[in-house]
Structure 1
Amino acid sequence: MPPWPNVPLSHSRTARTSLGFLVLALVCLAFSDIAITTANPWQDLFRFFRGVVTPDFFSSEGLATALLRTVSFAFVGVTIGSICGFGLALIYRIRLVRTFCAFIRAIHELFWALIFLQFFGFHPLTGVLAIAIPYSGIFAKVYSEILDEADPEPRTLLPPGVDALSAFVYARIPDCWDQLRTYTSYRLECGLRSSAILGFVGLPTLGFFLESSFSQGHYSEAGAVLLLFYGLIATIPLWVRPRLLPFYIVAAPFFLGDGLPIVWGNIKRFFTEDIVPAPLREGVGGDDLWPWLSELVIDQALPGIWNTLLLTQMALVATGVVALVAFPLISRHFGNRVSRTGGHILLVIARSTPEYILAYILLQLWGPSMLPAVVALSLHNGGIIGHLIGRQSSGLHLRPDAPHGLTRYGYELVPRLYPSFLAFLFYRWEIIMRETAILGILGIYTLGFYVDSAIQNIQFDKAMILILVTALLNIGIDSLSRRIRGRLALQTMPTC
């Protein structure tokens, strides 16, 4: 029997779960460093916005080349990732394959880039593999779900004796093609964001110029980089056409640049020496391995896990708040055509700006604390979920005598959209965790901070263990998210 009269059991579970996550976020807030430490944060913020509205597109040489390489890295990485992911999707039912895919997608693109930089250096292969490897795991998971949900009816219409390959190509693929194409297009947009932030580790993409401009206080140059990136994302439907895709895919590798030659001896040394734990590498003996590992866990892994979890839970709830506030901006049940157009522009900017870039900007303006990270994560992910929920709300039909204003919002739309809202939010939980960990590179004491510090100190053995901890933490959150969605029977479509 539900704890509240006349309330379905599933609804009471949803309410308790939501309240539990809200309380947990408030508890995390009490243990977190949330402060603005710069002397003139609003003055700096005003200077930044003034730079955005007065962009200088001609001050930085090579900006056009960086834009071209951002696109090239995205196309090559996403193409390789989609091909490998499709192959893995065909055998995704094998437990070992699922585990492998979960592991490679749990490691952020920037972590992969930091690994490959150690033996490939600033070679195009570093950027391509940093995108292709985690995207392979993501594509494998999503493609397998799409293929599993295909309608079996077309298979029964084929003539008797048709082999399995022909049945797959002529019956299942056509049924799934629209979903496969749509999701691949979405991952290309994600690939452009990933490609841009690779510039923060030194690769010649737009992120490199953004970091250089901000570090020197040239806000007009930074504004130009951001506007170029927004224009690139916003115009994807105009320049990414199906008939042009073969040309892009063939041409992209030729615009990646050359980079320095690969020293293959560095690869051998990395796997045979650099990532071997120091006590074993130095021949001290296995007896010293446990104290070395214990010190790493106590001094770095546990504080990193603690701060990563704190930041993730606050960002998760803040994301939900942003999404619930944002979806009416584009819903046909509120406002007018002009206001909804403005809402669409705001949400496009929010969801198109990578969390890493937004957190970097806010850290420069507000100083080092968890506040810039929470705001960056919640704005980006809240913009994504708000866009999805807003589109769903526009498809709902209300009674002619339905109330208006806040009553319509609170009593008509939110109750019907809330299950799908929670489903989207829990889907983003793992992604928020991945981004939270990587934001440590910017100076926030999450796991990424300790990974980056270990790499800077040429302690690759410690860095690899911390990256492994990050991956396992993400896998754990993904598993917990699936269990919660299953227990609450959450679906991404609104209720009738």
Structure 2
Amino acid sequence: MRTAPTVQISLLFVAIALVSLAFSDIAITAANPWRDLGNFLLGVATPNFFSSEGLATALLRTVAFAFVGVAAGSASGFLLALVYRFLPVRLFCNFIRAIHELFWALIFLQFFGFHPLTGVLAIAIPYAGIFAKVYSEILDEADDTPRRLLPPGTGVVSAFLYARIPDAWHQIRTYTAYRLECGLRSSAILGFVGLPTLGFYLETSFSQGMYSDAGAMLILFYVLIATIPLWVRPRLLPVYVLSAPFFLGEGFPIVWGNVARFFTEDIVPEPLRSGDGLSGLWAWASDLAINEALPGIWNTVILTQMALVATGLLALLTFPLISRHFGGPKRRLLGHVGLVIARSTPEYVLAYILLQLLGPSMLPAVIALALHNGGIIGHLIGRQTNNLTLRPDAPIGVNRYSWELVPRVYRSFLAFLFYRWEIIMRETAILGVLGIYTLGFYVDSAIQNIHFDRALILILITALLNIGIDTLGRYIRRRLALQTMPTC
């Protein structure tokens, strides 16, 4: 009997992950991980909400950076969406969204310094590319009937405002609200590069062993994310957006001479600056490729593949936690809480915490990526199963899971998984900043050694790698005709 293509591709990716496992650094290197984990859990159970005077300021600035960055990205993305059909615009949007927010922050820190503009642009630029793509798809899929019913001679702008926007407005608003939640996570992790958001205080607390302080910050962040529907109301959004810039802080003044030097000298390859000619440039490029780019690409790819399969396994194991076809309301409530915590915690924060507990290796990164992305996909698949109606004589327990639900949602599960593939690779690359030998490690090392020319090349390689994975993921979804809605 012929194996289904979805099963074949699944087995292929599992095999790739197993091969990657053989070449990976998976180990627990901490001296006493269970003791450290116990101390951390005790800190979460006994949070100290009054430990730092700067905690309230950090939360406020986390929200402020998110609002300003997402608002700027949304406005720019909407304008780009109007011309997204042109190939140069699509390529530009693909490029800027392929570079992680932390990479953008590391770039802007070199010439803007610790100025609020660094954090705002680090969020706004990649989000503009993301918004442009999604807004364009929403507008293209809008019902064309209202436009055809307009009186003859109606202008293009009027037709767009009165026929296209009203039909797409609900989807645009819903997606923008989702991006605000993502913006809060992005804003929080900017603190790990020195900006005054929640991540800065979280890193400080962990490095000093103050787990109760760190637990308080995590709990406040979860509450902030979970209560978004309560405090983010449409009528209040203009107030938030207009007032947020005043809560970003002042930072250090921008030295515009540094900006000019960065673009005219710092990012120019060193052999060209020193006049070594083509031979010097070849030696420089060869050294960069052999000692940094190729090892970084290799580790990024194998870590991504392991995390992708781990994400899929975790999603398949966790979606029953919130499905109405398994257990009662109390268990589903606990399942919802668990998945909300997993998907609300940024991968970078999870990886940082696990690195402190387990020691430096690829293991904390795999667990962090699987928990966050598996929580997202498990939540989506679990909600889809709630819309499925089973026969009265449907089996129960493991048989219900294996023969009734998984076959119906498996194609949409794969669609979500391949959609997250590029996102997992983006996060894998940036986790190198924490000391894991992915591309981010070599980028951060180059910046620390003031080799901005090498850092920029490595960031460009990261972007091209992300674009390649995104293209391959879309090809697989299209070839297998994968949709995000389950089979009835």
Q: TM-score, normalised to structure 2's length?
A: 0.99
Q: Which residue of 2 aligns with 1:369?
A: 361
Deviation at 1:287, TM superposition (A): 2.3
- Residue 272 of structure 2: aligned partner: 280
User: Which residue of 2 is the match for residue 257 of structure 1?
Assistant: 249
* Correspondence for 1:402 among 385, 394, 406: 394
In structure 1, C-alpha distance between the alignment counterparts of 2:78 and 2:278, rounded to whole Å: 42
Q: CA deviation at 1:89?
A: 0.6
1:43 maps to 2:38: no
1:216 and 2:208 aligned: yes
- Give, in whole Å, the separation in 2 of the partners of 1:152 and 1:404: 45
Which residue, out of 123, 142, 158, partners 1:166? Answer: 158
**Structure 2: 5+ residue stretches without partners:** none
Structure-2 residue corresponding to 1:339: 331
| 1:425-475 CA distance string (max 9 Å, x none) | 000000000000000000000000000000000000000000000000000
CA distance in 1, matches of 2:170, 2:95: 28
Which amino acid letter does the alignment assign opposite residue 339 of structure 2? Answer: L
Deviations, residues 94-126 of structure 1 (Å, cap 9, x unaligned) = 000000000000000000000000000000000
Q: Which residue of structure 1 lines up, in the alignment, with residue 184 of structure 2?
A: 192
Q: 1:175 is matched with which residue: 167, 170, 176?
A: 167
Specify the alignment match of 1:297 in structure 2: 289
Report SS of the residue matched to 2:31.
Answer: coil
What residue identity is the alignment partner of 1:62? G
Q: Equivalences for 1:2-13 in 2 at 5 Å?
A: 4=2, 12-13=4-5
1:151-185 deviation per Cα after TM superposition (whole angstroms, max 9, x unaligned)? 11111121121111111111111111111011000
1:94 aligns with 2:82: no
Name 1:33's counterpart in structure 2. 25
Distance 1:223 1:416 in 2: 39
Alpha-carbon RMSD: 0.7
Output one character per residue of 1:296-344: Cα deviation in whole Å (capped at 9) or x when no partner: 0010000000000000000000000010011100011111000000000
Are 2:349 and 1:350 aligned? no
Paired residues for 1:301-450 under 5 Å? 301-450=293-442
Distance 1:282 1:203 in 2: 34
CA distance in 2, matches of 1:408, 1:183: 33
CA distance in 2, matches of 1:33, 1:259: 39
2:454 to 457, 462, 476: 462
SS at match of 1:120: coil
User: Aligned equivalents of 1:92 and 1:145: distance in 2?
Assistant: 9
Alignment match, 1:132: 124
Query: Does the residue aligned with 1:494 lie in a helix, a strand or coil?
Result: coil
Secondary structure, in 3 states, of the residue corresponding to 1:121? coil
Determine if the alignment matches structure 1 residue 53 to structure 2 residue 48: no
1:232 aligns with 2:227: no
- Aligned letter for 1:159? P
Q: 1:400 aligns to what SS in structure 2? A: coil
Q: Partners in 2 of 1:159 and 1:412 — Cα distance?
A: 51
Q: Which aligned runs of 4 or more in structure 1 are off by greater than 4 angstroms?
A: none
Counterparts of 2:147 and 2:485 in 1: how far apart (Å)?
27
Paired with 1:222 and 1:163, the residues of 2 have a C-alpha distance of 56
Q: Does 1:478 align with 2:478?
A: no
Q: Secondary structure at the match of 1:119?
A: coil
Shift in Å at residue 385 of structure 1?
A: 0.4
- 2:68 is matched with which residue? 76
Distance 2:78 2:388 in 1: 34
Amino acid at match of 2:157: L
Structure 1 position 400, deviation (Å): 1.1
Quote how far apart the aligned CAs of 1:286 are: 2.6
Deviation at 1:284, TM superposition (A): 2.1
Instruction: Please tell me the residue identity of whatever aligns with 2:474.
Output: R
**Amino acid aligned to 1:398:** L
CA distance in 2, matches of 1:173, 1:396: 32
Matches of 2:266 and 2:301, distance apart in 1: 29
Instruction: Please tell me the residue identity of whatever aligns with 2:225.
Output: I
CA offset digits 1:245-285 (Å, max 9, x no partner): 00000000000000111000000000000000000011222
CA distance in 2, matches of 1:284, 1:40: 51
Cα deviation 1:354-397 (Å, max 9, x = unaligned): 00000000000000000000000000000000010011010011
SS in 1 for 2:35: helix
Secondary structure (helix, strand or coil) at the match of 1:259 reads: coil
The residue that corresponds to 1:487 in the other structure is 479
1:110 equivalent in structure 2: 102
Within-5 A mapping of 1:140-159: 140-159=132-151
Q: Which residue of 2 aligns with 1:245?
A: 237
The separation in 2 between residues aligned to 1:368 and 1:312, in whole angstroms, is 17
Distance 1:412 1:443 in 2: 44
